[in-house]
């Protein structure tokens, strides 16, 4: 095949049509490119996107063109499954299924075709690329990495090459996913306290037959991803369906069908909270009245000025730091006075402090013999509440309980100040075999970050409720190279974990979205000792010759400024 004919073949493999536009864009040989589309941008319920149009295999195509066409047909499969079937032999078509995880690779991939032999009727082709992620059947996005390859066997029929066997699932490129999927936050309810919404991040495929608002709410009616199974619940009773979603000048009208208790005001408020945040946090219907109907009858109305306490952490503006074992308030101008009670007095051997939330916070500290707690009041005295020489630094849950992991005995302990005793909590069996050195509960009271060994961070969840609470759903979040060390972690918000790592080349501070692994690096100038965070506020301490200075990250996340020049160690923020 000549260069010109090969180019024409590649150009014809696929096209991206901008929905709402008047024409189509031909895909270049090196893969799809993004076409800006402003059509539909004024619709508060939709998201503009490009639709992939694939064409059937052509008789003149070689093995490489057929494989590239097959991949384009996979990208278009959700909109038109008939094209992909044409690339397969009848036997392969009968066995193949689209079910299973979606494999995502980089845009630039190689199709390796062996030299043809005379009278050969089949060809073994290998597709090689770089592995990026899996989109699981529960819509969770799991990043991965490294080289990736897949062999294909093609047979030559009178009508052209056909694939004789295809592994289950779809193979998409990074551009395919960017074009057809949207990162989406869904909101479920904390199972244990049922006073807080918990975010579940998914990748949803845009549907040409419905608005994005309907796609989001339809998925909200389904169970959460595996990461939150057993840890969250929902206000939607079984059997509820989305009948229609309409938008007016100032409102969005959602019509449900099914059985809803019109007298349960708590369930009504929770349902509004789930819908409001699942739409508005994804920039859908923001600033509009949301009217919810059931079988055409008015059920409840959510207004833009509604006070939303479903994401409230009760953290306020409280910030602290530690100097010579004494806890101090942090003010807008810098260092403040010591806190009331024993926690504000200098103590040797007290470290790894943690602060609870609420109007009457407690301070916890790790010592050589266990975990001690003191109230922030003049009469507040240190009291050892958990004993053990190999405990992780304490962490507070939003329900007021204190947690630590006993590495010597392989036991997760929960101390409830109201009960006055520490109780064991069930953990996955594999945790007993790992060196657990940090255990941090997120402010949603559900997600947990666990560091094991020197260089691995896992994310889990507190599942169940009451006496049945246990740690589960552990999944790898990140790991550093051998020889590097994770120095500290801090929850910035319910979705993002800050990970401070020390390597031979220096330090890195990464903000990682625990839902999909998206990572953003934070620039560093000084060598940090520890880090604390709450939403826009990120604090760290730096050891200097003159003492320990406390620094704060700028709102643009690019620079650090000094808050306390010296005597400003170990910053603290409630929870996290």
Q: Is residue 58 part of a domain?
A: yes
Q: Are residues 14 and 87 in the same domain?
A: yes
Token pair of 278, please? 């699942």
Q: What is the number of residues in the chain?
A: 576
Give Rg (Cα) of the chain: 28
Q: Is residue 343 part of a domain?
A: no
Could you tell me the CA-to-CA distances from 514 to 200, 363, 369, 448, 477 in Å, in that order? 9, 27, 33, 10, 7
Q: Are residues 168 and 211 in the same domain?
A: no
pLDDT tens-digit series, residues 428-451: 998 888 999 999 999 999 999 999
Q: Are residues 191 and 216 in the same domain?
A: yes
Encode 283-322: b = buried (16+ Cβ within 10 Å), e = exposed: ebbeebbbbbbbeeeebbebeeeeeeebbebbbeebbbbb
Q: Are residues 200 and 112 in the same domain?
A: no
Q: Are residues 148 and 211 in the same domain?
A: no
Q: Is residue 97 part of a domain?
A: yes
Give the residue from 367, 376, 440, 443 showing the smallest Cα distance to 404. 440
Q: Alpha helix (H) ranges present in 40-171?
A: 63-75, 82-85, 90-95
Q: Are residues 73 and 160 in the same domain?
A: yes
**Residue ranges of E strands in 426-559:** 436-441, 447-452, 456-463, 470-479, 485-491, 496-503, 506-513, 519-522, 528-534, 537-544, 547-553
DSSP 8-state secondary structure symbol assigned to residue 434 = S
Strands 102-105 and 147-157: unpaired
The total of structural domains in the chain comes to 2
Q: Which domain holds residue 246?
A: 182-302
Token pair of 160, please? 């052209």
Encode 409-438: b = buried (16+ Cβ within 10 Å), e = exposed: ebbbbbbeeeeeebeebebeeebeebebbb
- Its pTM stands at 0.91
End position of a domain, from candidates 302, 331, 354: 302
Torsional sign, CA 560, 565, 567, 573:
negative
End position of a domain, from candidates 287, 302, 317: 302
Q: Is residue 413 part of a domain?
A: no
Q: Is residue 360 part of a domain?
A: no
CA 507 to chain centre: 24
Strands 447-452 and 456-463: antiparallel
Q: Are residues 54 and 126 in the same domain?
A: yes
End position of a domain, from candidates 180, 214, 239: 180
Q: Are residues 221 and 153 in the same domain?
A: no
Q: Are residues 275 and 229 in the same domain?
A: yes
Residues whose CB falls within 8 Å of the CB of residue 357, separated by 6 or more in sequence, listed in order: 313, 314, 315, 396, 398, 443, 574, 575
63-75 and 3-12 helices cross at what angle (nearest 10)? 20
Which segments of the chain have a pLDDT < 70?
1-42, 118-120, 263
Q: Is residue 470 part of a domain?
A: no
Residue 24 exposure: Cα atoms within 13 Å on the Cβ side: 14
Q: Are residues 169 and 206 in the same domain?
A: no
């Amino acid at each position: 095949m000549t260069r010109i004919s090969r180019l024409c073949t590649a150009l014809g493999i696929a096209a991206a049509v901008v929905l709402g536009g008047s024409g189509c864009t031909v895909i270049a040989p090196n893969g799809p490119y993004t076409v800006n589309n402003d059509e539909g941008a004024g619709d508060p319920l939709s998201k503009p996107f490009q639709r992939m149009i694939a064409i059937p295999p052509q008789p003149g195509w070689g093995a490489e063109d057929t494989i590239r066409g097959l991949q384009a047909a996979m990208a278009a499969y959700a909109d038109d499954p008939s094209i992909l079937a044409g690339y397969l032999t009848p036997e392969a078509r009968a066995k193949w299924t689209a079910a299973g995880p979606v494999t995502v690779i980089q845009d630039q991939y190689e199709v390796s075709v062996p030299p043809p032999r005379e009278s050969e009727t089949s060809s073994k082709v290998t597709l090689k690329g770089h592995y990026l992620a899996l989109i699981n059947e529960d819509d969770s996005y799991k990043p991965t990495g490294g080289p990736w390859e897949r062999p294909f066997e093609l047979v030559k029929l009178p009508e052209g090459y056909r694939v004789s066997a295809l592994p289950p699932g779809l193979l998409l490129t990074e551009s395919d996913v960017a074009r057809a999927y949207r990162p989406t936050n869904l909101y479920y309810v904390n199972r244990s306290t049922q006073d807080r919404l918990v975010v579940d991040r998914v990748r949803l495929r845009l549907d040409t037959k419905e608005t994005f608002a309907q796609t989001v709410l339809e998925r909200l009616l389904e169970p959460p991803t595996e990461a939150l199974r057993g840890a969250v619940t929902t206000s939607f009773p079984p059997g509820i369906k989305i009948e229609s979603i309409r938008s007016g000048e100032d409102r969005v009208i959602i019509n449900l069908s099914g059985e809803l208790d019109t007298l349960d005001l708590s369930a009504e408020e929770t349902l509004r909270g789930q819908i409001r945040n699942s739409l508005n946090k994804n920039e859908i219907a923001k600033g509009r009245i949301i009217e919810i109907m059931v079988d055409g009858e008015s059920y409840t109305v959510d207004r833009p000025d509604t006070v939303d306490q479903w994401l409230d952490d009760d953290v306020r503006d409280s910030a602290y730091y530690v100097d010579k074992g004494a806890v101090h308030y942090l003010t807008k101008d810098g260092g403040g006075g010591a806190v009331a009670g024993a926690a504000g007095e200098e103590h040797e051997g007290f470290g790894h402090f943690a602060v609870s939330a609420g109007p009457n916070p407690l301070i916890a500290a790790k010592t050589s013999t266990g975990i001690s707690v003191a109230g922030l009041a003049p009469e507040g005295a240190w009291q050892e509440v958990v004993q053990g020489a190999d405990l992780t630094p304490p962490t507070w849950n939003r329900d007021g309980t204190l947690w630590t992991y006993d590495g010597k005995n392989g036991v997760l302990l929960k101390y409830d100040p109201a009960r006055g005793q520490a109780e064991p909590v069930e953990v996955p069996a594999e945790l007993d075999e790992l060196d657990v050195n940090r255990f941090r509960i997120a402010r949603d009271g559900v997600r947990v970050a666990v560091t094991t060994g020197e260089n691995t961070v896992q994310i889990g969840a507190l599942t169940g409720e009451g006496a049945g609470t246990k740690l589960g759903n552990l999944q790898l979040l990140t790991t550093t190279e051998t020889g590097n060390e994770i120095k500290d972690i801090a929850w910035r918000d319910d979705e993002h974990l800050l990970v401070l790592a020390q390597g031979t080349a220096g330090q890195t501070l990464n903000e990682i979205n625990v839902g999909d692994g998206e990572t953003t690096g934070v620039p560093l100038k000084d060598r940090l000792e520890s880090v604390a965070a709450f939403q826009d506020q990120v604090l760290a301490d730096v050891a200097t010759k003159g003492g320990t200075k406390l620094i704060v990250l700028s709102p643009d996340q690019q620079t650090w400024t000094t808050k306390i020049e010296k005597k400003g160690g170990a910053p603290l923020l409630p929870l996290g």
